[in-house]
Amino acid sequence: MRSAADASWPGMAYGRRESAWSRIGDGLRAAARLIVPVAVLLMAFVAVYLYLDTPVPALGSSWLSLGHLLVPCCFLSVHLTNRRYGPSYAFAQVVLALAAAVAFIMFAVPRLGDVVPFRIVPELRIAFAFGGAFLGASFLSIVVFDGARGPRWWTAPLFGLLSGVVLFCLIYYPAAYAGAAEWTAKMLTHMEWLSGIAILLLIPYWSLRAIVRPMPGFGGY
């Protein structure tokens, strides 16, 4: 990982001492920067869940839903954070968003089940498979994105998104369905669609480049 990425966290300069209040302030600023990225990633998770039972007749598949196709949008939000703040913040975004999702499922869903009718309640194995697959795939895609930063704007998001969705499928389907159902054909089909959508997501990434500008230390990439 590039040395410039190590400068993304505040208070990391060596050779100078900082007061306790300065360190606290740096920590609070770092936490404040994560509020919007974590919220955006959580909204992407919610979109995947809400449309998990929405069929897409044009695909010609009875099991592939709109929620399945929205998974690359989660990776897009991570890469926008990586572009702006660097890999350290992107890693933190993924961990915090997944932790918040797990906490909601464990504590809020049982209490809200009688008030809010959840249309789909995934099996525990499938839920853990999704979380583990997204965590592992996000870490790989963050490293790939950071390593591919450069004057060609499309290389980092393209390789980052493709590596993320491919590894996600390679982890998710065996973890969720091995020994219980035939999953190989579904994995390959899902991987093909997600790869195509990942390429299309270069369009919104390009349109957001002027808004989500990199912090100093990333060479404007």
Domain locations along the chain: 17-208
Please say whether the beta carbons of 79 and 141 come within 8 A.
yes
For 55, the 3-state DSSP assignment is: strand
Whole-model pTM: value is: 0.84
Q: Residue 180's pLDDT band (boundaries 50, 70, 90)? A: confident
Torsion of CA 144, 74, 90, 215, to 10 degrees: 90
161-174 pLDDT, tens digit per residue, is 999 999 999 999 99
Is 61 a residue whose pLDDT tops 60?
A: yes
